[in-house]
């Protein structure tokens, strides 16, 4: 078993640990003890590890191919993870909130995290079953800072298709409107 | 103390745990026990938490303002973290290797992670002490996939300056050359 609810629960717990690691104000003694305990847990989990990364293995054995993905992977503690919703018109959207682990300017989402999410979300409408699309070009326009700890929404749709190239557009918005917009070219390999 | 070597050691340990969480193949019983132990550690660290995120607090008390940063923050377990080197000619570079936690296509770095790193690295030459530069526009061109678990280098330099706008360019490369190039406009707030 390389993917199951039990692994997702583990990732949820490690996400909480990441947040506490950044924000903790307990004594140095407690921090040092926590570090030792984590090393012990890592040793137990590390007694058997798949080589390299999750994706390589998942493709081989038919498990969920994106569980290790840094944006949508349910067992990757560094992933928010986003749940991408596909509409019947081909557009996609996702709603999420980002915490301390995604900080750039104090109190705001790192502009690079915004670019990362938009790369994934703009690519999503271009993916076809068994026929992934790879980013060719991504252009991101920052209108204003995107807040941490506030409900956010990302959405994207295909604007035009030319051969193997999908031209998509999308945005990230908070309750007050669009904070960042983007356009991208996503390419199916021949 | 909100920042110290002991917190960085904790973050190093949590980074190893993130990798093991993604790649572990131990039994469900061991995964479940690990989850419980992590929840216990998180409870201990969470006994005192700074509100919100690290940046807000750090600016207030003069601690390292970027320790929580998702790209360069030494106490953010989700950060690689990158160490940005500044050259006397104003250019910047950093060398790093990305593991399973940064996966997109199987065996390769997520295109969004590449965009995240380039956003940060292209902004770095534009930052002045006490005068941060914010991303206006970022355009990323993907020439080929960037491998996981291989030495990578990111570099950037200012091409031109027009008033408060810095136009910067940069690349990510592996041993075989450039994988992704980018250009960005980074703006000093008046």
Q: What is the ipTM of this complex?
A: 0.94
Question: Where residue A1 falls among pLDDT bands split at 50, 70, 90?
Answer: very low
Asked if A30 lies within 8 A of B44 by C-beta distance, the reply is yes
> Which of A17, A23, A32 is opposite residue B54, by nearest beta carbon?
A23
- Name residues whose C-beta falls within 8 Å of residue B111's C-beta, 6 or more positions apart in sequence: A119, A120, A123, A134, A135, A138, B104, B140, B142
Q: Decide if pLDDT at A60 tops 50.
A: no
Contacts by residues B31-35 (CB-CB < 8 Å, ≥ 24 positions apart): B31/A6, B31/A7, B31/A10, B31/A45, B32/A6, B32/A9, B33/A44, B34/A10, B34/A41, B34/A44, B34/A45, B35/A6, B35/A9, B35/A10, B35/A13
Domains of chain B: 1-81 (no CATH), 82-188 (3.10.129.10)
Of the candidates A69, A35, A51, the residue with the CA atom closest to the CA atom of residue B112: A69
**Predicted local distance difference test score (pLDDT) of residue B131:** 82
Mean pLDDT of B141-155: 97
Of the candidates A126, A182, A184, the residue with the CA atom closest to the CA atom of residue A154: A182
**Predicted confidence (pLDDT) per residue in B71-105, tens digit:** 999 999 999 999 999 999 999 999 999 999 999 99
**Predicted confidence (pLDDT) per residue in B111-121, tens digit:** 999 999 999 99
> Which of A24, A71, A123 is opposite residue B48, by nearest beta carbon?
A24
Residue B45 touches chain A, beta carbons under 8 Å: yes
Question: Where residue B55 falls among pLDDT bands split at 50, 70, 90?
Answer: confident
Mean pLDDT of A30-54: 96
Question: Where residue B128 falls among pLDDT bands split at 50, 70, 90?
Answer: confident
Q: How high does pLDDT run on average in chain B?
A: 92
Of the candidates B82, B95, B113, the residue with the CA atom closest to the CA atom of residue B174: B95
């Amino acid at each position: 078993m390389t993917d199951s609810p039990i692994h997702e629960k583990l990732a949820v717990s490690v996400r909480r640990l990441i947040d506490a690691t950044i924000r903790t104000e307990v004594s140095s003694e407690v921090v040092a003890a926590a570090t030792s305990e984590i090393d012990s847990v890592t040793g137990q989990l590390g007694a058997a590890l798949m080589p390299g990364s999750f994706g390589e293995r998942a493709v081989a054995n038919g498990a969920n191919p994106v569980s290790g993905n840094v944006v949508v992977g349910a067992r990757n503690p560094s992933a928010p993870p986003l749940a991408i919703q596909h509409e019947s018109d081909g557009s996609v959207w996702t709603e999420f909130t980002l915490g301390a682990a995604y900080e750039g300017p104090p109190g705001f989402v790192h502009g690079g995290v915004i670019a990362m999410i938009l790369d994934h979300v703009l690519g999503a409408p271009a993916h076809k079953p068994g026929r992934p699309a790879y980013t060719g070009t991504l252009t991101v326009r920052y209108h204003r800072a995107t807040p941490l700890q506030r409900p956010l929404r990302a959405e994207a749709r295909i604007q035009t298709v030319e051969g193997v190239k999908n031209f998509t557009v999308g945005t990230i918005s908070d309750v007050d409107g669009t904070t960042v917009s983007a356009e991208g070219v996503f390419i199916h390999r021949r």
